[in-house]
Amino acid sequence: MELLLVLILGLLYAAGVYLILRRSMVKLLLGIILWGNGANILIFVLGKITKGSPPVIDDAYRVFQDVYADPIPQALILTAIVISFGLTSFAIVLLKRVYALVDSDDLDDLNTPEEEDI
Amino acid sequence: MLFTVLTGLITSSLLVPFGKIIKTKWSILLPFIPVILFLFYLWHVPVVANGTTITQHLSWVPSLGVNFDFRLDGLSLLFALLITGIGTAIFFYGRSYLKGHIYFDRFFGYLLLFMSAMLGVVLANNILTLFVFWELTSISSFFLIGFNNDSKASRNSALTALSITGIGGFFLLAGLVLAGNIADTFIISEMFAQHDKITNHSLYPLVIGLIFIGAFTKSAQFPFHFWLPGAMKAPTPVSAYLHSATMVKAGIYLLARLTPALGNTELWNTTLMVVGGFTMIFAAIHSLFRTDLKGILAYSTVSALGILTFLLGLGTTDALIAMSVFILVHALYKATLFMVTGIIDHQTHTRDVTKLQGLRKVMMPVFIAALLAALSSAGLPLTYGFIGKDLIYEATLNLKENWAIWLTALAVLTNIGLVTAGFRAGITPFTGKLPEGYQDVKMPYRAMWVPPMILAVLGIVFGLFPGVVGDYFNYQTANAIAGTDTDMHLKLWHGFNTVLTLSVATLAAGAALYFAHNPTEEKLLSLARFDVVSSQHIFRQIGRSIEKGAGWYTNTIHNGYLRSYHLKIILFAELLLGYKLWLSGPIQIDYANLTPLSWYEVGIVAILIGALYIIVTTKSRLTSVVSTSVIGYCICLLFVFYSAPDLAMTQFTIDTLTTVLFVLVLYKLPPFINFVRQGILIRDAIVALGFGIIISLIALRVLYEPNTTAISDFYGENAYLLAKGKNVVNVILVDFRGMDTMFETVVLSIAALGVYSLIKLRLKSSEKE
């Protein structure tokens, strides 16, 4: 399974880069989202995946009795998901605002703000 | 000694708030600052002439080894006297010269700053302190050269001077620090004892190379000489002060000061001899063709500086004696000639030597001063210049080497040029018939012609009593440079010998050249053809190409297209990561440790890849957003399979929210634009795949490394015991790392505020394009 996950994260990164290199702002944003997902899986797979034993202590005991999944990568990823949501939602409304101002989704329409001011 | 340095600095800063008063009535007080300082140093002459050195120590930045260490020996004293003495003359002179100028107060502020910095340079016994003052002279001279700041030419030459001396200062700092590290001390007098250690060090050529660049730029040696003639745009008092007697000699001073520590090696002597020798003859020839009085003086100054460097390079006792005398000789006559030129310029508003003549009829005393200075510069017997020139010839003739005769010839040729230049600047404007229109030229104020007169007369008086003057002013100077007793005794009359013959021949040839050759505009223009190979031209070209290169770089790298920036950043990251990956050797996979696959996992991965493909290829915005959410859900399922229920819940919520927000906000956007060329798409695809592959390989490499679980084990064991929670991930987030989570919440709140305000914000009609 690790190999498949590695393949997936590679593909997510590649698709992310590809979309970031496009002119459309929406694609740029999608690229960033994909990249974030890729990074999450990267952390996940590097923390040694374990099947069917979540890091939750059984009700009857005070400590773990068996093997359990590494909780640290999970804590990290949880933080990452939430933060990237903050970024994404802000970017989405920002994008809308830009679109309302310049009537375009094209990044190239935004690259010379100083000249337009003059 | 510290007070002499600080007086000028403090007064200079006081001039900013109280400049108005000085401008109107109290300006007569200004020249008394250099007078007092001059008397202070004059009072030290008898003490220092006995060979005593006076030192003063004051901590400044002891942890860096930078302290106010001052040391007054023969060399420092001679320069301090020149700085304050000629400074006195300049202050009186400049007060009349600039009477009524709107920046009168500023001018004297800069001048005082400069004087203090210069005193700091010659008194400092710590090379880092010396460097600080050295840079201060560059900066203050920048303001002085560019004093006529409404003229573009003036601003340009100020910039040229600053950039040349500034670059030089940069090299100098490197050289000084290196030398200090090798000697293990920054105290100059302590470095003298380390002479052998420094000169035998493998970095010695680098050290003196760097110091040479610093000294040569400051003292206008070839190929850095051109800033000095350019600096003649400055008001004449500045040229007379900075560019004859003081600042340009700072480089010479530095070399002389460091000679006992770094000198007396073949490399040191040869370089100085070659550079100085070339500069002196090159500038002497140049001075013959100038028609601007200040141009003549500027080139003859460069030539004189060349002579000083050359003499340092010879390095014999004779040469160092000659040098110590010539410093004084040159300062006296060159400052006089500059001030005379300033008077002429001030009264007639021209400095063109082809137009000026007969002025003796309207300003006789000025002529007398100029004549005396010109004679001293020509080295007529009974002037101090005569002694100086004799000593130079003696130095070259007394060399043992076979090629010494050529050096003598070089010195003679240079001096012939200097004789002519001195006559041209000091005599031509005053002789002949007074042209029409100059009848009404008035005598200048007394304060303008008396100072040059005093200096010129000193040049003669010193020449009459060379023994006394030499003992008091030059003997210890030569000793300080040589580092040993030079046993110097100057005499007025040496008898009829080769030196006298050469002196007379020089004088005769110079006079003949003066009558035979007249500089004209045509000759100057024909000389201008060689400007293409001049160092000024070359430096300017270098400057321009750097500017062009920077422009090209900026335009290419910073072209204003976001995706181009992304491309460069990602390519760079690929190169760096790829290189590191390649360094770390082949990648191994431990198949035994892998988790087995099940069919539903493969199914999910297939869906994920399919969705990814749709995102990349689709033209519809909605499709791509929905596909992104599909990817999110697939990942969510993977989290479920692999023991991460919390992650799965979060991912599910967030993914849904993102999609909803996306669709709500973006439903009315235009469809994707798609006018990219096929080639670019392929290029981007290759870059993207490359990046994905590199990240995957990194992941594989890390997977192979053994895992340390010490921290995880701690959390696992103590989740319930310490924090009373059974879900370890939750306990980590809200308890063990609760602070982090709190700040994460803050970040989210800020983002939420941003989202809310952006949605609520109404579009003003003026904002819409």
Task: Quick: pLDDT tens for B247-257.
Answer: 888 889 999 88
d(CA B83, CA B72): 14
Greater pLDDT, B749 or B228: B749
Identify any residues that bridge with B352 across adjacent strands, giving them in sequence order: B292
d(CA B190, CA B195): 10
Chain B nearest CA to A10, separation (Å): 4
For range B44-60, the mean pLDDT: 83
CATH 1.10.4160.10 assigned to domain A2-55+65-106? The reply is no
pLDDT digits (tens, 9 = 90+) for B136-163: 998 988 888 888 888 888 888 888 888 8
pLDDT reported for residue B532 = 65
Residues 6+ apart with CB under 8 A from B608: A8, B630, B631, B634, B635
d(CA B104, CA B162): 22
Instruction: Round the average pLDDT of chain B to a whole number and report it.
Output: 84
Which residue of A lies nearest to B668 if distances are taken between CA atoms?
Answer: A96
Place A118 in a pLDDT band, splitting at 50, 70 and 90.
Answer: very low
Contact status of A4 with chain B (Cβ, < 8 Å): yes
- Residues of chain A with pLDDT > 70, as a percent, come to 92
Chain A contact set for B762 (CB, 8 A)? none
d(CA A72, CA B427): 92
Contact status of B705 with chain A (Cβ, < 8 Å): no
For range B399-406, the mean pLDDT: 78
pLDDT reported for residue B693 = 93
- Residues of chain B with pLDDT > 90, as a percent, come to 13
Chain A contact set for B570 (CB, 8 A)? 17, 20-21
Residue B3 clears pLDDT 70, i.e. is over it = yes
Among B88-92, B228-232, B439-443, B677-681, the least confident range: B439-443
Residues 93-112 of A with CB under 8 A from B: 93-97, 99-108, 110-112
Contact status of B753 with chain A (Cβ, < 8 Å): no
Contact status of B710 with chain A (Cβ, < 8 Å): no
pLDDT reported for residue B716 = 83
A11, A27, A70 ranked by CB distance to B612: nearest: A11
Identify any residues that bridge with B71 across adjacent strands, giving them in sequence order: B55
pLDDT reported for residue A41 = 92
pLDDT digits (tens, 9 = 90+) for B507-549: 888 888 888 877 777 777 777 766 666 777 788 888 889 989 9
pLDDT reported for residue B451 = 85
For range B313-323, the mean pLDDT: 85
Residues in chain B: 769
State whether B685 and A18 contact (CB < 8 Å). Answer: yes
Q: What are the sequence ranges of the domains in chain B?
A: 1-259, 264-519, 561-714, 715-769
State whether A96 and B665 contact (CB < 8 Å). Answer: yes
User: Closest Cα to residue B124, out of B4, B275, B300?
Assistant: B4
State whether B616 and A15 contact (CB < 8 Å). Answer: yes
Place B753 in a pLDDT band, splitting at 50, 70 and 90.
Answer: very high
Q: What are the sequence ranges of the domains in chain A?
A: 2-55+65-106
Residues 546-575 of B with CB under 8 A from A: 560-563, 566-567, 570
pLDDT digits (tens, 9 = 90+) for B564-582: 888 999 999 999 999 999 9
Residue A113 clears pLDDT 60, i.e. is over it = no
pLDDT reported for residue B768 = 54
State whether A63 and B744 contact (CB < 8 Å). Answer: no
d(CA B714, CA B724): 14
pLDDT reported for residue A117 = 43
pLDDT reported for residue B671 = 66
Answer whether B172's CB lies under 8 Å from B213's CB. Answer: yes
Task: Kindly provide the ipTM of the predicted complex, given to two decimals.
Answer: 0.91
Chain B nearest CA to A36, separation (Å): 10
H helical segments located in B642-769: 645-666, 678-704, 710-723, 728-731, 738-760
Which residue of A lies nearest to B606 if distances are taken between CA atoms?
Answer: A8
Contact status of A43 with chain B (Cβ, < 8 Å): no
Residues 6+ apart with CB under 8 A from A7: B605, B696
Identify any residues that bridge with B54 across adjacent strands, giving them in sequence order: B72
pLDDT digits (tens, 9 = 90+) for B165-176: 888 999 999 999
pLDDT reported for residue B239 = 84
pLDDT digits (tens, 9 = 90+) for A69-110: 888 889 999 999 999 999 999 998 888 888 877 777 777 776
Place B604 in a pLDDT band, splitting at 50, 70 and 90.
Answer: very high
| Cβ-based contacts under 8 A for chains A and B | 278
Contact status of B682 with chain A (Cβ, < 8 Å): no
User: Closest Cα to residue B246, out of B116, B147, B143?
Assistant: B116
